[in-house]
Amino acid sequence: MKFLAVLAAAMVAASAPAVVAAAPAKPAAETRIVLPTDVRPDRYDIRIVPNAEALTFTGHEAIAITVVKPTDRIVLNAADITFSKVALSGLAAAPKIVLDDQQQTAAFVFPQTLAPGRYTLSIDYAGKIYQQASGLFALDYQDADGTKHRALFTQFENSDARRFAPMWDEPGIKSVFSLTIETPDSQMAVSNMPAARTAPAADGREAITFADSPKMSSYLLFMALGDFERIHQRVGRTDVGVVVRRGDAAKAEFALDAAAKLLGYYNDWFGTPYPLPKLDLVAGPGQSQFFSAMENWGAIFYFDYAILIDPKLSTEADRQNVFVTVAHEMAHQWFGDLVTMSWWDDLWLNEGFASWMENKATDHFHPEWRVWLSAQSGQQGAMRLDSRPGTHAIVTSIPDVFAAATAFDSITYQKGEAVIRMFEDYVGEDAFRDGVRAYIKAHAYGNTVSADLWAALDAASPDKKVSDVARDFTTQAGVPLIRAEAARGGVRLVQSRFSADPSQRTPRTWRTPVKVEAVGDDGAWQGLVSASAPQVTPLRAPVVVNAGHAGYFRTAYSPGLWAKLAPRFAELAPSDQLGLLYDSRALGEAGVAPMSDFLDLAKNSPADADPIVLNTLAQQLDALDWLFEGRTTQPEFRAFAMARLRPMAERLGWDPKPGEADNDAILRRTVLSLLGRMGDPATLAEAKRRFDGWLADPESLSGSGRRTVLAIVAGHADAATWEAIHAKAKASTDITDRARLYNYLGQASDPALIRRALDLALSGELLPTEAPNVIAAVSNDHPEAAFDYAVAHRAQVDQLLEPTSRTTYYADLAVTSRDPAMLDKLAAFSATVPASSRGDIEKSTAAIRYRVGVIKARVPDMERWLKANGG
């Protein structure tokens, strides 16, 4: 699943001395709340009759089960399910049905003990069709002529298959699924497998039965039903298709081409061919607050914006994101679907690997995009979280499915991706690929834990075993800090811990793969550095530690080494330039190094640096600007920042140049948007001129230019401008563009307009999937207003959110706050949710507390630097 990370102002931590410390023991599996193991499902035959208009459905299922040991009851998962009949083969008496709504289980208690053996459990039931992406859900849209439609889809990860049919809804319990859908004959039905047969059904419907699935986990089952069309091409033995709303086929060509290329690449890379006869990418209108796509085996779901390319509306970044997202979900067809983690504490085996593979595959086909450079931004987000309270180990204890929702975060995804990249760099590409191939082959159609992957990699790389390093980085939380200082004969490297506050200063050790390169010659060194085994590299300064930036750690140079390295910044590779920018700001905010290290780099960065380096610099300046908000010195900081940004804007201009690189176009949008955000008069005037032209002629703006102008104007909107954008949103018949236009209404700075946007979100004018994102748009610059409003209207907002992710939504609304009073509000909110669901509240609390501390301790340092060096 491609989750949507919260884009908050960057946070960093403080360092501490290191000693050898063992990784914390993983809590025993017995602490998990899971289903009994005395009954095993082998096969489900499920028949669904949806009533889309009434938002209800009925179902019948026959489950082939094996009673493993004597028991008088069968316990499975069910949520929002009404039972009308339950029967077990060989027994005349119906069981007593005992529901546990808190644990989402149904127990069928029989009057006699069931002997071990095979049975068929038959269930007639009814369920609910949701209007957010949970279980079986509906998405509404309209055609260009105003005709309204409703399409149905399913979303089951992490644990919502139980809302579709009573079942054993845990990843470690795999079964075969046969699905039949009764449909109106004018609609297309899609599932994991191709349709096997069609037969007449009651009331003029058709009953479409799909071929049996492979043995798979319940969360991978999928169905869709609507007025669709499909484009496709054959890749070897596989029919690859994209399923879209009728009329959108042309927008799907880019994704289909990407999928066809990627399938051949993955078949070769994994060494195990994709095993299903077809692979569909299914597009759905709308959005979620938490994810953009889901890897259902053979029928990957994407929201429209994550897969469709509209020449008039899509940007260069959209094209890159579509390719990357397709690559991510297709990688899951092996890592996650064919081989699945045994329980949610190893979720990273799915998501960390797919996040790494999306970049590896994308870089193979589009090296000009330089995705490994862009990916460093995600790694930094993980490091910020990983150096504060609220973090967790990559392999983390998940006591129940409700806690599992909090594991879909930057530790699981981006830290997981970063350490996998580090492991591949450590053992070598060939050995790493050979180990993964052996792992996939050995565990196909089964479940694994992390140790299974380490064993396969060790066997493939006997001279550089990864298991010890991997355990250090996956079973304990935190960020290593490698200190570099001059020593006799070279540079001494010592490992300690990077931390944000006293609660995170417990010393720990990591056996850390480190690469060091000398600047200006070919000297290089590679080895393991740990708290108990510092190293001296035989290289002369200046040197770059973490050369290539493939390691998951921060680097602190001694003042002497930094004085030799920083002036050579322009000579460094872009990856190393990024490393210095990220680390110098993080170390400065943490008090490990002076903030002047970052500010000096920012002031002297070359204007002709790689576009991703310049984009990163711009974003870092924007994050610091947020810390100056409301201070009398913000104009001085903005003058400094705009002096860095204006030369970029002058070189790039407002309009694309023939043959320019995509990354230049992406940089243009960032730079102009930030100049507008900071109030640059020339930028505001030009954006307003272009906006007025767009109102008169909608064809005058498209793609990135349209998105840039609207963002700038919306941020500075008066009532008339706000209402003009509102009118455009109401009139739009493109579901993706409509949502973006409504989101712009939440970006205004005028408090009265912010209140209007919040009230609009719950007015009923917006679709159920649109409303939460408008409130979230407000939270970007006005977290207190958004959080207070959502909590005050909690009953109404909850109905618009996916049930397992509600707590995360409220925590995310608060995360960018600079107000200490928000800490008390989050504490009060935390008391209203189950303990196992509080992880994201703790993360937001830590981010706010840290930000408040940085404003108090570090912003004055920057103010003094600006007084001496600004401009």
Could you write out the DSSP letters of every residue in 595-608? THHHHHHHHH--TT
pLDDT, residue 871, reads 61
Q: What is the mean pLDDT of residues 93-110?
A: 96
- In tens, the pLDDT along 316-346 reads 999 999 999 999 999 999 999 999 999 999 9
Which listed residue (329, 358, 686, 784) is catalytic? Answer: 329
- Cα separation, 835 vs 466, in Å, equals 35
Q: What percent of the chain has pLDDT over 70?
A: 97
Assign 3 a pLDDT band (cuts: 50, 70, 90).
Answer: low
Q: What is the mean pLDDT of residues 640-658?
A: 96
Q: Position 323: which residue type?
A: F
Is the confidence at residue 433, as pLDDT, over 80? yes
Q: Distance between the two ends of the chain, CA-based, in angstroms?
A: 45
Residue 747: what are its φ and ψ, rounded to 5°? -100, 5
- Cα separation, 265 vs 251, in Å, equals 23
Tokens of 113: 């003990």
Is the confidence at residue 29, as pLDDT, over 50? no
Is the confidence at residue 600, as pLDDT, over 90? yes
Q: Which of 760, 758, 729 is nearest to 742 (CA)?
A: 729
- With beta carbons less than 8 A apart as the criterion, state whether 586 and 854 touch: no
Beta strand segments in 115-172, E? 117-128, 135-142, 148-155
Least confident of 496-505, 662-671, 737-746: 496-505
Residue 109: what are its φ and ψ, rounded to 5°? -100, 120
pLDDT, residue 144, reads 85
Enumerate residues 6+ apart whose C-beta is below 8 A from 783.
813, 814, 815, 816, 817, 819, 822
Q: What is the mean pLDDT of residues 10-21?
A: 29
Q: Position 673: which residue type?
A: S
Residue 776: how many CB atoms within 10 A of its CB? 20
pLDDT, residue 145, reads 86
Beta bridge mates, 41: 65
* Burial (Cβ within 10 Å: 0-12, 13-18, ≥19) of residue 334: buried
- Cα separation, 843 vs 386, in Å, equals 10
- With beta carbons less than 8 A apart as the criterion, state whether 352 and 332 touch: no
- DSSP state string for 264-314: HHHHHHHSS---SSEEEEEEESS--SSEEEE--TTEEEEEGGGT---TTT-
pTM comes to 0.95
11 or 442, which is more confident: 442
SS3 518: strand
697 or 14, which is more confident: 697
Enumerate residues 6+ apart whose C-beta is below 8 A from 779.
785, 786, 787, 812, 813, 814, 816
Q: What percent of the chain has pLDDT over 90?
A: 91
Q: What is the mean pLDDT of residues 839-844?
A: 94
Q: What is the mean pLDDT of residues 1-23?
A: 40
Q: Among this protein's residues, is 329 annotated catalytic?
A: yes
Q: Which of 503, 442, 450, 515 is nearest to 477 (CA)?
A: 503
SS3 751: helix
- In tens, the pLDDT along 206-265 reads 999 999 999 999 999 999 999 999 999 999 999 999 999 999 999 999 999 999 999 999
pLDDT, residue 18, reads 27
- In tens, the pLDDT along 690-701 reads 999 999 999 999
Q: Position 840: which residue type?
A: D
Enumerate residues 6+ apart whose C-beta is below 8 A from 627.
9, 818, 851, 854, 855, 858, 859
Q: What is the mean pLDDT of the chain?
A: 94
pLDDT, residue 15, reads 28
- In tens, the pLDDT along 36-64 reads 999 999 999 999 999 999 999 999 999 99
Is the confidence at residue 737, as pLDDT, over 90? yes
pLDDT, residue 4, reads 67
- In tens, the pLDDT along 355-395 reads 999 999 999 999 999 999 999 999 999 999 999 999 999 99
Least confident of 450-459, 704-713, 831-840: 831-840
DSSP H helices, 628-702, are: 634-652, 662-677, 681-696
- With beta carbons less than 8 A apart as the criterion, state whether 127 and 57 touch: yes
* SS3 labels along 315-364: CHHHHHHHHHHHHHHHHHCCECCCEEECCHHHCHHHHHHHHHHHHHHHHH
pLDDT, residue 763, reads 97
Tokens of 406: 């909090």
- Cα separation, 710 vs 704, in Å, equals 10
Cα radius of gyration (the chain): 27
Residue 829 belongs to what H/E stretch?
helix 821-830
pLDDT, residue 26, reads 42
Assign 293 a pLDDT band (cuts: 50, 70, 90).
Answer: very high
Is the confidence at residue 630, as pLDDT, over 90? yes
pLDDT, residue 506, reads 84
SS3 820: coil
Q: Which of 270, 383, 365 is nearest to 324 (CA)?
A: 365
Residue with tokens 């970063």: 418
